[in-house]
Amino acid sequence: MAHQPTTLSRAQRLRRAGNLVNLSTPLGLLIAAVGAARRRPGPNGLTLAEGYAIPFPPAGSFTVGNVVITPLTFAALTARQPEVMEHEDAHAWQYLCCGGLPFLPLYALAAGWSWLRTGDVASANPFERAAGLARGGYREAPVSNAGFRTLARAAQTLTLKPRRLAERSR
């Protein structure tokens, strides 16, 4: 599915300029270049970068500024997730609303909170929820405190293991 650039609305031109000035789009272009992704114009003033060769982050696609990056081709991505471009478009707006680069640590905190609450980085992440979980290919996991329980088990293991080792050495 080839996306043909269209005339941009005033809001889309503002987003394009804002994400350029706030450095999120230049960072996205740099990440795409480092990952050897092929770039082309996309819908709504987005830049599409496909064939990204770095396995991080582990995602079908991700957005940095106005740059949507995928290890796949966009034809394959949109065949698998027909509404993914609307989801990624919403993330481009979130970069603008967060002032650009501050979006990255805010997103990381939101993903961490989501993981603690649901065991999933997207389900309780307000950025992913606002962009549309289903449109991004995410499922909604119930609040279960799964991440908190995982951390509690890890902490318990860390405190019990030294004690067990000390008991064996007596």
**Residue 159, token pair as written in the block:** 């405190």
Does 96 map to a domain?
Answer: yes
Three-state secondary structure call for residue 92: helix
Give me the number of domains the chain comprises: 1
For the stretch 72-114, pLDDT in tens is: 999 999 999 999 999 999 999 999 999 999 999 999 999 999 9
Q: Round to whole Å and give the CA distance between 109 and 86.
A: 23
Does 137 map to a domain?
Answer: no
Residue 163: pLDDT over 90: no
Does 94 map to a domain?
Answer: yes
Residue 126 identity (one-letter amino acid) = P
Does 48 map to a domain?
Answer: yes
User: Which phi-psi region, left, alpha or beta, contains residue 46 (left: φ > 0; alpha: ψ -120 to 50)?
Assistant: beta
Does 55 map to a domain?
Answer: yes
- Let me know: does 70 contact 61? Beta carbons within 8 Å: yes
End-to-end CA distance of the chain: 69
Residue 106 identity (one-letter amino acid) = L
pLDDT: which is higher, 50 or 156: 50
Residue 165: pLDDT over 90: no
**Residue 59, token pair as written in the block:** 């995602």
Does 118 map to a domain?
Answer: no
Does 122 map to a domain?
Answer: no
Residue 125's pLDDT band (cuts 50, 70, 90): very high
The residue range of the domain holding 68 is 1-101
Other Cβ atoms less than 10 A from the Cβ of 1: the count is: 11
What is the CA 107 to chain-centroid distance, rounded?
8
Provide the sign of the torsion angle of the four alpha carbons 143, 69, 32, 73, taken in this order. positive
Poorest-confidence range of 1-5, 74-78, 157-161?
A: 1-5
Does 129 map to a domain?
Answer: no
